[in-house]
Structure 1
């Protein structure tokens, strides 16, 4: 009698060999790699074009030559103030946070094996917002303390969600999403209560920040975000291959010597860290983590964790949304989170209808 677990592991191992084989005869793998590279480069070029447009266009119009002179240290004081001090940090931060949010969404969607398993849906982003609000409005901490508070809030929320969603030591995708939505709703109520108990000025500032706002970005906040994100981006890059193997099957990953539980824990830490970083820097920005991984997979025709194109899509979407937000009403620019939520609502409905038709 054949052992079922052994036969399953053998079949998954053979399937994995077919997918991950690399060699001269592996033409499909090379074609997919070429397509991914072309699309990723194209997305970054499109992001660069929008970034240049955001540097030169606005209430104070700057030519490309003047912007270049300012960035190279040869501009006048007025142009330096507009381009270097105001617009450049905001543009670079939008590109960075778009990538971090998208990568976080890809990690959690891979872990839950569900396109709805993004941190803004299952409550981790709301938990990061709660931690940041506690530090900002109750403790009165600065930017570094707010980042730490957002990280602690996200990790604590993740632990609660995974504990409540676990059944026999395993948290299923759908169960995790349902529990996450419930916890997110309760934390949203707590966030409203914190805002109501704060002073009017502090509550208004926190509410504007809570809408997802890149206004007022400085080089110091950008530097803090770069340093913080570098750790989690490197962690996510090292976890990319083990997570792809786990998506094929846990027995296959174990057969190749992967420590599945350790990979899952590190992936959760990396995903929450990327989300908490973005939340602490610019407030909760929805939609990017939900949609960017799915858009990237459809563009490159790759299943699983595709971090490079996902990061490129996230950066493109956020810089585009921020550019639109600043120009809908130039006299009173909108927070970028309002634009991403408006677009994300339509995408979310389409995704729900698509999943419903499949079932």
Structure 2
């Protein structure tokens, strides 16, 4: 998977409006100043931060999906099922359409705050002396629908240009990839990813069900709350950096599970690699599909993920 990811990143650096030979890409990366200046600008200034941002976003969504499927014991679960993405999207639409005086630099922080606020609301509403997985799912679906309706209401009566900008953000885009955004996202993801990997044995246990986990001495509610917070941090940061990118959190854990099995000590890093591969590859296809126009990567992952979702539903029909 690491080799496939490296090849996908090489394709992301070489393909675009102007094709570059692999040798030119390697020279721009390994020997700056020795090749043409415009090649170095394209590779190091434009395509490399975009590829790294896609890698980080995909890894975050893949790990978030693996954790969500474990704590909810649902093979069709992903971070969006908890309403996290809907909370971030609602805040983004409000800021872009209604609060035009807010600077663009504040948008990622506000969308991340919306994701965390939605996670807190789901947990508080689902708590009934405990945190049953089914209640968390139902509350998440309900609040997600409510947030989606509110975002649509704001968009319906907003100024056309601002609404178009919000729609592009919600479609998922990597066009605003910058090194400062890449560094911030990388630093933010270290703690929740490490927390998810260190909790691998707890995730193995809780996947058997609350009764079995409690019988083995696990504090189920504490583990579920901690993992929901970790998922909110991962998914919220990814959405804040690149907008809504669909189906990666659903598909990446299933692909990784086919390769490494069900133990989360191996599944967590494998899901990160699979998610990174999916987003980087989808971005390459999106950039080459309708040149010079660039299809948002979120639309591309949606086109690729819908058949996968149908296959999962068919597989789980009994």
TM-score, normalised via structure 2 length: 0.90
Contact 1:135/1:145 (8 A) holds in 2: no
Does the CA contact (< 8 Å) of 2:86 and 2:148 recur in 1?
yes
CA contact (8 A) 1:120 1:290 kept: no
For residues 118-197 of structure 1, the aligned pairs below 5 Å read 118-139=78-99, 140-142=101-103, 145-166=106-127, 169-173=130-134, 175-197=135-157
Q: Do the aligned residues in 2 keep the contact of 1:104 with 1:271 (CA within 8 Å)? A: yes
**C-alpha root-mean-square deviation of aligned residues, in Å?**
2.3
- Relative to structure 1, the CA distance from residue 231 to residue 293 in structure 2 (aligned partners, 3 Å threshold; closer, same or farther) is same
Q: Which residue pairs with 1:26 in the alignment?
A: none
Q: How many Å apart are 1:163 and its aligned residue?
A: 4.2
3-state SS, counterpart of residue 332 of structure 1: coil
Mapping 1:126-275, distance limit 5 Å? 126-139=86-99, 140-142=101-103, 145-166=106-127, 169-173=130-134, 175-248=135-208, 250=210, 258-275=218-235
More relative contact order in 1 or in 2 (CA 8 Å, sep 6+)?
A: 2
The structure having more radius of gyration, on CA atoms, is 1
Q: Of 96, 104, 127, which residue of structure 1 is paired with 2:64? A: 104
CA change 1:58–1:148 in 2 (3 A) is closer
Q: Give unpaired runs (5+ residues) of structure 2.
A: none
Once the 2 structures are TM-superposed, how far is the Cα of residue 166 of structure 1 from its aligned partner?
4.7
Q: Distance in 1 between matches of 2:219 and 2:104?
A: 36
Using the TM superposition, give the Cα deviation of residue 197 of structure 1 relative to its aligned residue in structure 2, in angstroms: 4.0
Using the alignment, how far apart are the partners of 1:198 and 1:220 within structure 2? Answer: 31
2:50 match: 90
Aligned pair count reads: 314
Cα contact 1:136–1:142 (8 A) shared by 2: no
Q: Does the 8 A contact of 2:73 with 2:209 survive in 1?
A: no
Shift of 1:250: 4.9
State the shift of 1:193 in Å: 2.4
In the alignment, what sits opposite 2:22?
64
Please say if 1:281 is aligned against 2:241: yes
Q: Structure 1: which 5+ runs fail to align?
A: 1-42
Equivalent-residue separation in structure 1 for 2:132 and 2:116 (angstroms): 16
Shift of 1:264: 1.9
Q: Which residue of 2 aligns with 1:9?
A: none
